[in-house]
Amino acid sequence: MNWVNTYVNDYYNWLKEKTYIQKDINTDWFVINTPFLGAFNDSIEIYARKTNNQLILSDNGETMTNLELQGLFIQGSKKRKDLLDTILLNYGVKIQHDELILESSLEKFSQSKHNLLSAIIEINDLYVLSKQNVSTVFKEDVRLFLDKKNIIYTPDFISKGHTGLEFNFDFQIAKIKSETVLKSFNTINKSNLSSFLFAWDDIKPVREKITKKEVKAIAIINDLDKEIKSEYIDALKSKNADIILWSERKSKNSLELVA
C-alpha cells in the first residue's frame, strides 16, 4: 500500500468517525450529522426516511434559510435563480417550499447522500453573491477566461470513481496524452478543498484506466482582495494538484497549465 492509499483510507475513517446518526423520537426520520461545515461553521445535517424501498433525503429547509439569514435572496435575481437551478439539476435535487429534497431507490443511498451533500455545499457558497462588490460569478469568470484563450473544455464534467460515486467538476480539458479536471474556488475552505481532493483522487485511477491518459487536477482560486491560507496551498501541493491563483492567471506558468 502506497502513501496515497494510506491517506485516502484515513479520510474514509475520518468521515465515518465524524458522522453521527440519530432517530427523531417523534417521526420516522433519521438525522445524519456530517463532518462538513455549513454557512455558519456548523455541521451540515441531512435527514433521511425510507418508505418501502424508496428513499427520501432532505436538508429540512436549512440551506435556503441560512442564505436568507446572510442577506441573499435567490428569488431577487434571475442570475442567482439560474445558478441554483443548475446546481439542483447537476445533482438531481428538487426544491419544495425552500426545502432541498432528493428521492431515489434505497439501493442508491450512498450516491444520493453524496449528491445532496454536494448540492448543499455548492448552494452555501452562493452567499458571496450577496456582497455588493461581487458583480460576476467566479465560475463564469473562469469560463470566460478559458473561452478567451480558445481552450476547448467540457463544462460540468461528471465522472465515476472507484468507490462507485459520481463526482462533478467545473471543467474538463482533454489532451492527447492527458486530461485535466478543474475546480474553481471563489472561496476556499477545509470542506470544499477536502471534497475536491477526495473526488479527484477517487476518479483518477478509473479515468486513467479507461482513457490510458494521465489525469491531472487544477484548483483555480480567487485570491483577489483576500488572503489564501498557506495550509490550503500546501494541501493541494501534497496531492500534486496544480494551482492557479486568479491574480496570476495571465502568467506564463498558468497559461501553460491549461493550454
One domain, residues 98 and 172: no
pTM greater than 0.85:
no
Residues 200 and 112 in one domain: no
pLDDT tens digits, 65-115? 988 887 777 776 677 788 899 999 999 999 999 999 999 999 999 999 999
Same domain, 45 and 90: yes
Range of the domain at 142: 138-258
Cell numbers linked to 146: 478559458
Do 37 and 63 belong to one domain? yes
Q: What is the CA radius of gyration of the chain?
A: 19
212 in the same domain as 167: yes
251 shares a domain with 146: yes
- Alpha carbon distance 228, 216 (integer Å): 22
pLDDT of residue 34: 93
Gap between the Cα atoms of 178 and 240, Å rounded: 15
Residues 64 and 122 in one domain: yes
Q: Is the dihedral of CA 226, 78, 192, 178 positive or negative?
A: negative
**pLDDT tens-digit readout, 175-227:** 999 999 999 998 888 888 988 999 999 999 999 999 999 999 999 999 987 88
pLDDT digits (tens, 9 = 90+) for 28-50: 899 999 999 888 888 999 999 99
Please give the helix or strand (H or E) that residue 186 lies within, else none. Answer: none
Same domain? 11 vs 108: yes
**One domain for residues 125 and 8:** yes
Q: Are 167 and 181 in contact (CB under 8 A)?
A: no
